[in-house]
């Protein structure tokens, strides 16, 4: 039985139609007999004058339609300059539509730059938790520092989200999520169990997001920071590539699944209307300029890539991996990235990227030929060469790449064809995917020996904390001792400094 008082569609529609001028709180108060904000709140895609605020009404998150009747519900929002909402600077009403899983995305404008705000939602007699969002500084304005966390890969079945509890306590300008917010697969023997089978339909994906979003630590990290979200493969299907799934499904049919996954992603993320889904597509790659210090390029390396070569997997390169036309970005995103890098006046250029860019020979034994991950840029090496050549030719300085996907920490120099360092890549581990892990995965000593540009590896869960300052970039790798309990303890495993003007790790 739903937790919602059963009232007919007609009653609600009449109520909405005749309530012009009446306080919003009166209109919806009969809708809920329990809290509809069980999936939390979020803010994202900040601008100098605002940000998106998000919630999704779900009084019974794991039931069909999350326990909502299939009618439109009115939601009130408030944005204030203080935590106690004494000075409200924006408020209004928005509609939570059944077509969008009763999610709401409100684009707040008219705020001051580079400061925190607090926001909350009201539906009926119920009020959400309070979230804190942060506007961006103006592009080009002088800044002393920009701090952000890179996080992602949060397989619910593999462990708890103590890392997000740590993130909630960080002082940040933003969080960038590199994808794998949900996992579509099943382990059947996890530390926590997915509800339902592998998702294919919109309601399947909605259920999966609902289960993840009920996690209190994840909600705390959303409530504490404004996020820039990007996706990787598991929001849709493992190792998908453009219109290709991993199981050889005909592209036209796989696109139907993509469409369901894309809509569910939009519904559950604090995205702007510019990222509204069109069929199977969402505009995910975008740029953010933090003063004169940091230009961030958030990539989408799934939607426009060619299929993985050589049958995918970890293996020696076949001829198909080495052709000149290989593209992981697609022509339009590649052009956008290259222009963004060449034209950036900022001190640091961030490429916020999903899968590993550095060439990493993954041999751990006596294999005769290098082993590459065909799902990473190694399967698209001509695209990597074009990127590094562009950085060199245009003399783009202070390039930092942050990456997800690997479920391990890596720090490496990105080197050009003559061995000169052109940038630094920090691969962030995972929030939970892979389970507890250990400091050194068996075989990583061989990988370190085979890859002299690689300076560090670690196989524990956590996140990376990056800080851009005028004179140097620092990245702290924060790791958890364990994720098989909610009480995992965080510590700084390693801190790297990159001096401005030098692509070197120390
Ligand atoms: Fe992942």
pLDDT at position 27 is: 52
pLDDT at position 34 is: 87
Q: How many beta carbons lie within 10 A of that of residue 151, not counting itself? A: 28
pLDDT at position 163 is: 98
Cα(14) to centroid of ligand 1, in Å?
47
Cα(400) to centroid of ligand 1, in Å?
21
Residues of the chain with pLDDT under 70: 1-31
Cα(438) to centroid of ligand 1, in Å?
17
Cα(295) to centroid of ligand 1, in Å?
25
Cα(337) to centroid of ligand 1, in Å?
24
Phi, psi of 16 (to 5 degrees): -70, -40
Cα(234) to centroid of ligand 1, in Å?
7
In angstroms, the CA 443 to CA 441 distance is: 6
Residue 275, helix vs strand vs coil: helix
Cα(182) to centroid of ligand 1, in Å?
9
Cα(427) to centroid of ligand 1, in Å?
12
Cα(431) to centroid of ligand 1, in Å?
9
pLDDT at position 13 is: 32
Cα(314) to centroid of ligand 1, in Å?
16
pLDDT at position 270 is: 98
Closest CA to 439 of 475, 403, 480: 480
Cα(429) to centroid of ligand 1, in Å?
9
Cα(101) to centroid of ligand 1, in Å?
25
Cα(433) to centroid of ligand 1, in Å?
6
Cα(178) to centroid of ligand 1, in Å?
9
Cross-strand partners of 19? none
User: And the tokens for 506?
Assistant: 């120390």
Cα(13) to centroid of ligand 1, in Å?
43
User: And the tokens for 358?
Assistant: 């550095």
> Would you tell me the crossing angle of helices 216-224 and 202-213 to the nearest 10 degrees?
80
Cα(392) to centroid of ligand 1, in Å?
31
Cα(501) to centroid of ligand 1, in Å?
32
Cα(232) to centroid of ligand 1, in Å?
8
Cα(149) to centroid of ligand 1, in Å?
17
pLDDT at position 175 is: 98
Cα(434) to centroid of ligand 1, in Å?
9
Cβ < 5 A residues, ion ligand 1: 153, 180, 433
In angstroms, the CA 328 to CA 20 distance is: 51
* Segment 221-240, tens digit of pLDDT: 999 999 999 999 999 999 99
pLDDT at position 33 is: 78
pLDDT at position 3 is: 36
Cα(120) to centroid of ligand 1, in Å?
31
- Tokens 């408020």 belong to 91
pLDDT at position 7 is: 34
pLDDT at position 6 is: 35
Cα(396) to centroid of ligand 1, in Å?
30
Cα(347) to centroid of ligand 1, in Å?
30
Q: Which CA distances in Å does 115 have to 82, 132, 223, 293?
A: 11, 10, 15, 17
Cα(328) to centroid of ligand 1, in Å?
18
Cα(273) to centroid of ligand 1, in Å?
26
pLDDT at position 113 is: 98
| Torsion sign over Cα 237, 240, 246, 252 | positive
Cα(66) to centroid of ligand 1, in Å?
26
In angstroms, the CA 222 to CA 46 distance is: 13
């Amino acid at each position: 039985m739903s937790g919602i008082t059963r009232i007919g569609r007609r009653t609600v529609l009449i109520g909405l139609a005749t309530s012009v001028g009446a306080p919003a709180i009166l209109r919806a108060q009969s809708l809920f007999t329990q809290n509809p904000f069980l999936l939390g709140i979020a803010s994202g895609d900040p601008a100098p004058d605002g940000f998106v605020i998000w919630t999704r009404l779900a009084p019974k998150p794991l039931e069909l339609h999350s326990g909502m009747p299939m009618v439109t519900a009115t939601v009130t929002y408030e944005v204030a300059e203080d935590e106690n909402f004494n000075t409200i600077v924006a408020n209004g009403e928005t509609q939570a539509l059944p077509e969008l899983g009763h999610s709401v995305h409100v684009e707040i404008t008219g705020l001051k730059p580079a400061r925190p705000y607090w926001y909350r939602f009201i539906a009926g007699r119920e009020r959400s938790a309070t979230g804190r969002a942060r506007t961006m500084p103006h592009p080009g304005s002088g800044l002393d520092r920009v701090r952000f966390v890179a996080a992602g890969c949060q397989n619910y079945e593999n462990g708890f989200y103590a890392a997000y509890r740590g993130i909630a306590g960080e002082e940040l300008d933003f969080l960038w999520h590199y994808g794998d917010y949900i996992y579509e697969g099943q382990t059947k023997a996890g530390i926590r169990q997915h509800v339902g089978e592998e998702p294919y339909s919109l309601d399947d994906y909605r259920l999966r997001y609902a289960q993840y979003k009920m996690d209190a630590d994840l909600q705390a990290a959303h409530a504490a920071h404004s996020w820039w979200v990007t996706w990787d493969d598991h929001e849709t299907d493992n190792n998908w590539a453009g219109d290709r799934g991993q199981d050889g499904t005909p592209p036209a049919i796989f696109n139907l699944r993509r469409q369901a996954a894309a809509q569910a992603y939009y519904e559950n993320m604090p995205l702007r209307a510019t990222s509204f889904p069109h069929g199977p597509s969402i505009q995910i790659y975008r740029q953010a300029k933090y003063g004169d210090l940091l230009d961030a390029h958030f990539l989408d390396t799934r939607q426009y890539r060619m299929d993985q070569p050589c049958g995918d997997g970890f293996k020696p390169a076949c001829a198909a991996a080495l052709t000149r036309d290989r593209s992981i970005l697609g022509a339009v995103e590649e052009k956008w990235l290259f222009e963004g890098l060449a034209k950036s006046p900022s001190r640091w250029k961030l490429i916020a990227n999903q899968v590993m860019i550095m060439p990493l020979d993954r041999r751990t034994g006596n294999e005769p030929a290098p082993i590459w991950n065909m799902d990473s840029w190694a399967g698209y090496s001509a695209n990597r060469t074009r990127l590094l050549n562009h950085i060199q030719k245009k003399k783009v300085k202070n390039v930092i790449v942050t990456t997800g996907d690997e479920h391990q920490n890596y720090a490496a120099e990105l080197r050009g064809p003559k061995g000169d360092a052109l940038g630094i890549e920090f691969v962030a581990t995972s929030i939970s995917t892979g389970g507890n892990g250990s400091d050194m995965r068996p075989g990583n000593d061989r990988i370190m020996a085979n890859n002299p540009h690689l300076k560090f590896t670690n196989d524990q869960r956590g996140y990376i904390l990056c800080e851009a300052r005028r004179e140097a970039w620092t990245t702290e790798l924060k790791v958890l001792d364990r994720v098989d309990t909610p009480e995992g303890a965080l510590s700084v495993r390693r801190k790297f400094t990159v001096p401005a003007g030098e692509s070197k790790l120390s």
